């Protein structure tokens, strides 16, 4: 695949946004953050170091009760003026690329957003109907997650 220097799916030197889903969603992206499924960091730690160290670092597992769409191991949570979207990411040799939109919901249905702490901070998005999405934010992406949370909470 040949990429032109102006291809909007890729970051350019000096850009504030590493990935831009504006063209894919049809409206300007205000913020976005890479996310993993809930429990991903613990699974990786368990595979690398064994069960006991993973339990010590991440605690015991609790059942997942959210309605988070399935998206594989990595996705991009995007906030636009009118909606929240979850976009799958495709891994390249060096970087990731936007792949396809998994789900879009109007921002008016978002009740609140909360970002936890820790090695892989949990991000919970609560909806007005009582449902929620629960994902984990990779540690290097935490600063982008705070912007997403601020926008969703109306700050």
The 10s digit of each residue's pLDDT in 66-95 is: 588 888 889 999 999 999 999 999 988 888
Lowest-confidence range among 14-28, 31-45, 49-63, 116-130?
Answer: 49-63
The answer as to whether 130 is a domain residue is yes
CATH number, position 40: 2.30.29
Q: Show the 3-state SS of 31-69.
A: EEEEEEECCHHHHHHHHHHCHHHHHHHHCCCCCCCCCCC
Q: How many CB atoms lie within 10 A of CB 72?
A: 13
Q: Which domain holds residue 52?
A: 22-152
The mean pLDDT of 25-33, rounded to a whole number, is: 95
Q: Between 144 and 17, whose confidence is greater? A: 144
The answer as to whether 86 is a domain residue is yes
Strand partners, 75: 35, 88
The answer as to whether 123 is a domain residue is yes
The answer as to whether 110 is a domain residue is yes
Domains in the chain, number? 1
Q: How many angstroms separate the CA atoms of 6 and 129, rounded?
A: 41
- Asked if residue 107 has pLDDT above 50, the reply is yes
pLDDT at 115: 94
CA dihedral 128, 130, 133, 136 (to 10 degrees): 100
Q: How many angstroms separate the CA atoms of 151 and 145, rounded?
A: 10
Q: What is the mean pLDDT of the chain?
A: 79
The answer as to whether 78 is a domain residue is yes
Lowest-confidence range among 48-57, 94-103, 134-143?
Answer: 48-57
Residue 53 confidence class, pLDDT cut points 50, 70, 90? low
Q: What is the DSSP string of the chain?
A: ----TT-TTS--TT-S-SS--HHHHTS-EEEEEEEEETTHHHHHHHHHH-HHHHHHHH---------PPP-TT-EEEEEESSEEEEEEEEE-SSSEEEEEEEEEEEGGGEEEEEE--SSS-EEEEEETTS-EEEEE--GGGHHHHHHHHHHHTT-
pTM, two decimals, is: 0.75
């Amino acid at each position: 695949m040949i990429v032109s220097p102006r291809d909007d799916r890729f970051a350019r030197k000096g850009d504030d946004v590493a990935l831009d889903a504006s063209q894919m969603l049809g409206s300007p992206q205000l913020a976005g953050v890479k996310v993993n499924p809930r429990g991903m960091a613990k699974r990786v730690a368990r595979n690398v170091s064994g069960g006991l160290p993973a339990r010590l670092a991440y605690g015991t597992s609790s059942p997942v009760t959210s309605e988070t769409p399935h998206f594989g191991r990595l996705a991009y949570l995007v906030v636009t003026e009118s909606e929240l979207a979850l976009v799958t990411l495709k891994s390249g040799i060096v970087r990731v690329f936007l792949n396809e939109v998994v789900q879009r919901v109007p921002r008016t249905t978002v009740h609140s957003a909360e970002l936890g702490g820790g090695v892989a901070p949990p991000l919970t998005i609560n909806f007005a109907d009582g449902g929620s999405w629960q994902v984990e934010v990779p540690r290097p992406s935490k600063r982008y997650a705070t912007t997403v949370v601020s926008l969703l909470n109306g700050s």
